[in-house]
């Protein structure tokens, strides 16, 4: 049985593990940027959340988004 699937993009084809929940673009990023295997610091995740909340609040103030998170 085959343990990989072949995915294709504009660059070419690539073998991806069958059980992987990602595709060829993520596989290329993992291969090209070894930092991708390092975990993201918790403070960075919280900062992303703060930025997303600020954007949502501004969009609500501008009337672009009617529902507050």
Band (pLDDT 50/70/90 cuts) for residue 66 is confident
- Count CB-CB contacts under 10 A for residue 24: 19
- Which phi and psi angles does 31 have, rounded to 5°? -75, -35
Q: What is the pLDDT of residues 10-47, one digit of tens each?
A: 999 999 999 999 999 999 988 888 776 778 899 999 99
User: Looking at the predicted structure, is the pLDDT value of residue 53 above 60?
Assistant: yes
pLDDT of residue 34: 79
């Amino acid at each position: 049985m085959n343990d990989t699937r072949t995915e294709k993009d504009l660059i070419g084809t690539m073998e991806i593990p069958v059980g992987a929940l990602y595709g060829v673009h993520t596989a290329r990023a993992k291969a090209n940027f070894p930092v991708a295997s390092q975990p993201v610091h918790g403070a960075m995740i919280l900062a992303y959340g703060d930025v997303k909340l600020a954007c949502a609040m501004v969009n609500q103030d501008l009337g672009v988004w009617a529902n507050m998170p």
